[in-house]
Amino acid sequence: MASVDDQGNVLLGNQLLISNESTDIENTQSTGTLSSGADVMETSELDLASYGFDAILPFEPSAGQRPIDPSNGSLLKTSEVYELNSTKDFYTYSFITGNMDQTHARLAYNGTHGQVWVDADNPTMFITDDDACLIGEAFDDSIYPLITENFYTESDVNADGKIAILCFDIQDNYAIPGDAYCNGYFSPEDLYDGADSNRMEIFCMDTYPTMGNDVNNPNVSQIFVGLAHEFQHMVNFNRNEIEEKSGYMDTWLDEALSEAAGYMYQVLAESAGQDCKDVHTMRLSSYNKSDAIRNGKSLLDWNTSADNLNYALSYFFGQYLRTQVDEALGSGNGVKVFNEIITDPGNGNAAVESVIQKYIDPQLTFGEFLTNYRAAMVLKADTGSFGFNGEEAFNGISTPLYIGGTTNLAGGGAIVTAIDAPFTVPVDQGTDVSCLGIFW
């Protein structure tokens, strides 16, 4: 039976988890003396570039700059009421040049909460009005209520009660399968007055290759998970930056919540027999085949852009937190755990620790929870701190084993290595480094 040994300085088990429980990603801490050359499971490095990435465009409001006030017409600079087939020029970002372009688009769907705009001049993918209707109805009927009920609500800087969804070929250097590409992005600048602002709530969603490689038959359902992902970023920004004025949520946590939003939509769609992108399998593959994760990748370190390893770690952390709360209170209890994190005054680990201590264990620290999370990624126990509340979807996790010697871990980093028990905890390990013996 899978279990752990955390008693004393001599640990039993056939594997060893070493976790840096600090939140400091700048100053690493030693694992302590380790011998190298342990046996390791065979893995092949995943071609991470074959996956798309989502983005929040960097934006820091200048001193005193506030979001657009819809009552101030001189800042809004738009009062158009858009009807079907209206056209408009949008500012859109090129990941190739790093500059803003303009995309001329037509309004192809005008719904209760969402508007779908499609490239009117040079579309790479031909999006029909029926396609636009599928996108808009998925947003209005499923994605909008899912996010606003479980996460938070959006702003409305242009006072139209709508969120624009602009579908076009995002310029991202994609040429052939295997190249990196952008699924979609949210630009906070669009909510502020500025030269490159669209002055509205808007997502930019990719058509090619996100909707497939057949330019005459786009699979629009492939952007639905991404829409949920980007919408979480938008409502998160509204709460933390616009309403609270407390700044951005830590990237690793903001992404964990957006990943959770995407997975919630996936579960909803699959239960209804509908097609969508499989974010779970994608993150599972990233995690299982990664040398970076094998070598101690930190959950908290998002210094590398478009890194699917970061997405994988954040995704599984969000699911671990959710299932631990479910187990503590009973699944289906209705606790909006992600909403509580967004509305907490803390924008990072403090917000998570508040939820942990409220629902799971009042004595459990964030750092200890990190270690338990890493152990759960190995053990997948049916119950308790070292599993995902028995949810079968997580049984496919296979943590790659570290085979090197002594190494340094950033805060939030961890390795799992094979050992010959009994194992004596090194006296030269870092102050915040924790060891667990794992019976597996």
122/157 same-domain check: yes
Q: How far apart are CA 46 and CA 43, in angstroms?
A: 9
* Residues 103 and 213 reside in one and the same domain: yes
Last residue in a domain, options 187, 219, 246: 246
Nearest by Cα to 313 from 329, 330, 297: 297
**Dist. CA 395–CA 2, nearest whole Å:** 13
Last residue in a domain, options 246, 274, 308: 246
pLDDT for res 306:
42
Contact 102, 92 (CB under 8 A): yes
Same domain, yes or no, for 198 and 79? yes
- 5 confidence band (pLDDT: 50, 70, 90): confident
Task: Evaluate whether residue 338 is within a structural domain.
Answer: no
> Please, are residues 225 and 266 in contact by the beta-carbon 8 Å criterion?
yes
Q: What's the pLDDT score for residue 247?
A: 86
Helix and strand tally (H, E) in the chain? 11, 15
Rounded CA gap, 201 and 254, in Å?
18
Helices (H), 241-343: 251-271, 279-288, 291-294, 308-329, 337-343
Note down the domain range covering 100: 50-246
* pLDDT above 70: residue 25: yes
Model pLDDT, residue 72: 60
Looking at the fold, whether 77 and 27 belong to one and the same domain comes out as no
- pLDDT tens track for 60-110: 888 777 788 776 654 445 556 789 999 999 999 999 999 999 999 999 999
Say what the pLDDT of residue 60 is.
85
Same domain, 91 and 139: yes
Task: Give the DSSP letter string of 179-206.
Answer: B-EEEEEE-GGGGB-STT---S-EEEEE
Taking all residues of the chain, what is their mean pLDDT, rounded to a whole number? Answer: 90
pLDDT tens, 171-189? 998 988 878 899 999 999 9
Task: Based on the fold, state whether residues 204 and 313 are members of the same structural domain.
Answer: no
What tokens were used for 281?
């399998």
pLDDT for 176 equals 83
Taking the C-alpha atoms of residue 105 and residue 86, their distance in angstroms, rounded to an integer, is 8
Beta carbons of 440 and 376 less than 8 angstroms apart: no
For residue 76, the model assigns a pLDDT of 47
- Return the residue matching tokens 């937190």: 321
Q: Which residues are catalytic?
A: 230
Overall average pLDDT of the 45-50 stretch: 46
- Can you tell me which residue has the tokens 């994608």? 282
- Tell the burial category of 330 from Cβ atoms under 10 Å away from its Cβ (0-12, 13-18, 19+): exposed
Q: Do 27 and 109 sit in the same domain of this protein?
A: no
Judgement on whether residues 233 and 133 belong to the same structural domain of the protein: yes
Does a structural domain hold residue 123? yes
The pLDDT > 90 percentage for the chain reads 74
Q: What is the number of structural domains in the chain?
A: 2
Are 79 and 189 found together in one domain? yes
Rounded to 5°, angle at Cα 270 from 281 and 392: 50
Q: From residue 257, give the alpha-carbon distance in Å to each of 78, 205, 263, 322, 400.
A: 32, 19, 10, 10, 25
In a domain, 333, yes or no: no
State which H helix or E strand residue 418 sits in: strand 414-418
**What is the reported pLDDT for 303?**
67
Stretch among 96-105, 173-182, 242-251, 274-283 having the lowest mean pLDDT:
173-182
Looking at the domain assignment, is residue 254 inside a domain? no
105 within domain boundaries: yes
Q: 341-394: per-residue pLDDT in tens? A: 999 999 899 999 999 999 999 999 999 999 999 999 999 999 999 999 999 999
> Is 270 a domain residue?
no
What letter represents residue 232's amino acid?
Q
Which pLDDT does position 353 carry in this prediction?
A: 98
Helix (H) or strand (E) holding 20: strand 15-20
Residue 54 and residue 33 share a domain:
no
Tell me: the pLDDT tens digits for 385-427?
Answer: 999 999 999 999 999 999 999 999 999 999 999 998 889 999 9
Q: How far apart are CA 5 and CA 211, in angstroms?
A: 48
Q: Are residues 232 and 104 located together in one domain of the fold?
A: yes
Task: Tell me whether residue 435 is in a domain.
Answer: yes
Q: Which two tokens stand for residue 142?
A: 């499923």
Same domain, 215 and 121: yes
Final residue of a domain: which of 193, 226, 246? Answer: 246
Compute the CA torsion angle 118, 124, 130, 135 (nearest 10 deg): -60
Note whether residue 273 is domain-resident.
Answer: no
